Copies of this chain bind each other. A is one copy, B any other.
Amino acid sequence: MMEKVFIQLIKETLNSCYIGDDCAYLKDLGIVISQDSLVEGVHFLRDKITPWQLGRKTAMVNISDICASGAEPAYMTVALSLPKGTNSDFVKEFYEGLKSACGTVEIVGGDITAADKIFISATAIGKTAGRNISSRGHAQIGQKIIVSGPHGSSGAGLKLLLGGKPTPENLIKAHLEPVAQREFSVKIATTQKTPYAMMDTSDGLMDALSQISEASGVQMSVDFAKIPFNEEIKMFSDWRELVLFGGEDYQIIATVDTPPAAATVIGEVRKGSGVNLNGKIYSKELIESKIFKHI
Contacts and interface: CB of A to CB of B under 8 A. Distances in A.
Contacts of A78: 35
A281 interface: no
Interface stretch (A117-125, A174-182, A210-218, A251-259): A117-125
A162 interface: no
A100 B71 CA distance: 31
A23 interface: yes
A105 to B, nearest CB: 11
Nearest to A3: B112
A225 interface: no
Interface string A86-123: 10100110011001000000111111111111010101
A235 interface: no
A108 B33 contact: yes
A36 B121 CA distance: 10
A277 interface: no
Interface in A1-50: 2-3, 5-7, 9-10, 13-14, 16, 18-19, 21, 23-24, 26, 29-31, 33-37, 39, 41-43
A99 B12 CA distance: 12
Contact of A10 (B9, B35, B95): B95
A248 to B, nearest CB: 14
Number of copies of this chain in the oligomer?
2
A125 B33 contact: yes
Nearest to A21: B109
Nearest to A78: B35
Contacts of A6: 82, 88, 91, 112
B91 A9 contact: yes
Contacts of A79: 35-37, 121
9 pairs of A and B residues whose beta carbons are closest in the complex: A24-B108, A121-B121, A18-B108, A123-B123, A13-B95, A24-B109, A35-B77, A79-B121, A37-B79
Interface of A: 2-3, 5-7, 9-10, 13-14, 16, 18-19, 21, 23-24, 26, 29-31, 33-37, 39, 41-43, 74-75, 77-79, 81-82, 86, 88, 91-92, 95-96, 99, 106-117, 119, 121, 123, 125, 127
Given A6-B112, A14-B99, A29-B75, 20 more contacts: A6-B82, A6-B88, A9-B91, A9-B92, A13-B99, A18-B109, A24-B75, A24-B108, A24-B109, A35-B78, A35-B123, A36-B79, A37-B113, A37-B119, A39-B81, A41-B115, A42-B115, A116-B117, A117-B117, A119-B119
